[in-house]
Amino acid sequence: METVALILAFCCILTLGVALYWLANRPAGSALEAALVQLARQLPDMQAEIRALSERLRLLEGGQSQVHTSIAQVDRALSSLTSQAQAYREAQAQMALTLQRLEAVIAGSSAKGLAGENVLEALLGRLPPEWQVRNLRIGNRVVEFALRLPNNLLLPIDSKWPATDHLERLAASNDSQERSALQQEIQAIVRERAREVRKYLDPSCTVGFGLAVVPDAVYELCLGLQAELFQQNVVLVSYSLLLPYLLLAFQMALHNSRSLDTEFLLRHISQAQESLALLQQELEGRYPRALVMLSNCREDMALHLGRIRAALSSVLLAQEASRPAHAPAGEKEPRS
């Protein structure tokens, strides 16, 4: 832009020089003289316009420089956004991998579900130590965790989940029939776990139900089994709901134990009912037979006693009959 302005200025100066030279050597009365005079008069206005044009060109050059600067800044910003987007995609991929690993950890290993027990260990570790019970032996079985309630009863908690591969296959499958079959298999495994949990119940030391703790994905797939499992005295709970459920169970037990130990009373009532049932069986079973036997024995004993008395009476009568008659008064019995 500056080059164009210089060229225009040079042209104007050259034109002015030529005009002045011609005026100095002009022929008199020429028509061209009048034109040149007019041009000389217009020359300052042209110079002013040239200066204004130069100023505009300078401003345009400044604006163009700013535009170039802005474009460079936008380009750098776009490059930064591209880098951030790439980093975000990589972070998402890493997060997905981490979540997949975490899901495998929460679900437990395919061997014995030890990872699930580790998760449960971490959750129960937030509760007071006096609430926690480890490796509770009930009969010939051992349950890894239990919650000690205010009424001194224990709530068994089982967390083994060996079917991790079922969840992985379900997450990777897009076939509706295969997904339905996998869901049914998972529900069958949950039912089997519930039957195992029932074996941990003992009225003498546990409450009347146990907890089967499963991964959240399994819990969502088995919501329809809650009523069925509850009838078996088993409650299905997810890892995310375990702590709130335990706190609620503890609060309810604390509230009930303040007024009356209902569980204690129910256990003794149950034992009393069992004893009454046994007494009823005895009264309706062996006791009537015993009464009949006692009655028969009494009759037999009375018969034998009657025979003995009759025999004794016969002996007495025979003895009396063999004794001689008494002599009359005043007469002596002859000596032999």
Q: What is the pLDDT of residues 251-310, one digit of tens each?
A: 888 777 655 555 666 767 777 787 777 777 777 777 777 777 777 888 888 888 888 888
Q: How far is CA 118 from CA 129, 160, 263, 276, in A?
A: 17, 10, 31, 46
For the chain, residues with pLDDT lower than 50 are 28-29, 105, 107-114, 327, 329-336
* Structure confidence at residue 170 (pLDDT): 81
Q: Which CATH number fits domain 103-258: 1.10.3470, 3.40.1350, 1.20.1740, 3.30.70?
A: 3.40.1350
Check if the beta carbon of residue 207 is closer than 8 Å to that of residue 263.
Answer: yes
The secondary element (H helix, E strand) that includes residue 135 is strand 132-138
Scanning the structure block, which residue is given the tokens 């002599």?
Answer: 327
* Structure confidence at residue 154 (pLDDT): 92
* Structure confidence at residue 109 (pLDDT): 42
Scanning the structure block, which residue is given the tokens 């029939």?
Answer: 177
Sheet of strand 210-214: strand arrangement: 132-138, 141-148, 154-158, 210-214, 234-238
Tens digit of pLDDT for each residue in 54-77? 777 777 766 666 777 777 777 787
What one-letter code names the amino acid at 218? V
* Ordered DSSP codes for 178-235: HHHHHHHHHHHHHHHHHHHHHTT--TTTB-S-EEEEE-HHHHHHTGGGHHHHHHTTEE
Q: How far is CA 62 from CA 59, 211, 278, 287, in A?
A: 5, 77, 109, 120
Q: In whole angstroms, what is the distance from residue 49 CA to residue 226 CA?
A: 92
Structure tokens at 227: 């009523």
Q: In whole angstroms, what is the distance from residue 95 CA to residue 101 CA?
A: 10
Domain extents in the chain:
1-24+36-68, 103-258, 260-305
10 Å Cβ neighbour count for 124?
21
